[in-house]
Structure 1
Amino acid sequence: MANPKAKNTQEYISFFPKWKSHFNTIYNVLQNTELEESIKWGAPCYTLKGKNLIGMVGFKNHCAVWFHKGALLKDNKNALINAQPGKTQLLRQLRYCESDMVGIELLEEYIIEAIAIEKNNT
């Protein structure tokens, strides 16, 4: 059964108790940015001047931070995944399994770069 659509990020997090720790860490990092928080497609989405930059999403076996223009990030650590090669052009994700810890420094690095790329393209 699909989860009902969340009205806000905290409600979305409550739908995924397995990923609560991961999502709370990601949420806290995103709260320290200039990005605007909203719900799009039933999940948290963070925007800059109306442009989608970052999303949080939970699945059965992993959770992820989506970078809508992730292919433009340098990704020097080779941490970003294209979930659908050949189909997805720009979207990349940082994927976390249950035993993974969210690397705050790496996450912040990618968020800062994503914001800079968007600012340079507007």
Structure 2
Amino acid sequence: MNPKVDSFFEKDSRWQEEYRLMRKLMMECGLTEELKWGVPCYTYPSGRTGKPANVVLIHGFKDYCALLFHKGALLKDTEGLLIQQTENVQAARQVRFTNVVEILDRRSVLKAYIYEAIEVEKAGLEVKLKKTKEFDMSDEFKEYLDGSPELKTAFEKLTPGRQRGYLLHFSQPKQPKTKVSRIEKAIPRIFEGLGLND
């Protein structure tokens, strides 16, 4: 156990008992514990690079806590436990819990999933992600790009991840005026080379 992660498990939370049980499970599976994004993240050396790769993390929400498998899309999910958080999440999958009993009852299954995730890393497997051009572009944003070569150039200079973030953000609203409002607010950030959340 990594002492740098202890603070997460000592914080007051409705999921503390569940978190501690999940932590014990991770340690029994031989993963390395780190603190990433403010939550416990468990790594294993990648068979492709030899560097520590994120395998699973523990996180909590209002209605549930979860194990998030970073490459969950590659797991067999023999028990049908894995949940895709939103349709736009390509690789990660969650196993959700609302109490300790659910974790205890699935202990052996969870270990099997964790060991399978470790095997995915050992093999150096990667999730085949959709390319940016495969994401939907709203008609409103297309009009802005067609009307401004400078904006189009600035957008194309962004990293693929930043481009995808904007494309998703602009296409989510149902109302065209909301889409336009989001686009107009984002244009200065695009020209600065910044992503939606930078």
The structure-2 alpha-carbon separation of the partners of 1:100 and 1:82, relative to structure 1 and needing over 3 Å to count, comes to farther
Structure 2 Cα separation of the partners of residues 83 and 9 of structure 1: 25
Structure 2 Cα separation of the partners of residues 107 and 9 of structure 1: 21
Shift of 1:98: 3.7
Question: Within 5 A, what are the aligned runs for 1:55-70?
Answer: 55-70=57-72
8 Å contact from structure 1 (residues 8, 44) kept in 2:
no
What are structure 1's unaligned runs of at least 5 residues?
1-6
8 Å contact from structure 1 (residues 18, 98) kept in 2:
no
Which structure dedicates a bigger proportion of its chain to helix?
A: 2
User: Counterpart of 1:27 in 2: which secondary structure?
Assistant: helix
TM-score (norm 1): 0.86
In structure 1, what is the equivalent of residue 118 of structure 2? 115
Q: Kindly provide the amino acid, as one letter, of the partner of residue 58 in structure 2.
A: M
Shift of 1:11: 1.6
**Runs of 4+ residues over 3 Å off in structure 1:** none
The structure-2 alpha-carbon separation of the partners of 1:20 and 1:51, relative to structure 1 and needing over 3 Å to count, comes to same
The structure-2 alpha-carbon separation of the partners of 1:104 and 1:16, relative to structure 1 and needing over 3 Å to count, comes to farther
Structure 1 Cα separation of the partners of residues 83 and 119 of structure 2: 20
8 Å contact from structure 1 (residues 82, 93) kept in 2:
yes
Question: Within 5 A, what are the aligned runs for 1:90-109?
Answer: 90-98=91-99, 101-102=102-103, 103-109=106-112
CA deviations over 1:9-53 (Å, ceiling 9, x no partner): 332122253111211111111111221110001100011121111
The structure-2 alpha-carbon separation of the partners of 1:13 and 1:67, relative to structure 1 and needing over 3 Å to count, comes to same
Which structure dedicates a bigger proportion of its chain to strand?
A: 1
1:48 and 2:44 equivalent? yes
What are structure 2's unaligned runs of at least 5 residues?
46-51, 126-198
Shift of 1:94: 0.4
Matched length? 115
The structure-2 alpha-carbon separation of the partners of 1:47 and 1:98, relative to structure 1 and needing over 3 Å to count, comes to same
Structure number with larger C-alpha Rg: 2
TM-score (norm 2): 0.54
Larger RCO (alpha carbons 8 Å, 6+ apart): 1
8 Å contact from structure 2 (residues 73, 90) kept in 1:
yes
Structure 1 Cα separation of the partners of residues 7 and 86 of structure 2: 28
| Paired-residue identity, % | 34
Structure 1 Cα separation of the partners of residues 25 and 118 of structure 2: 14
CA RMSD between the two structures? 1.7
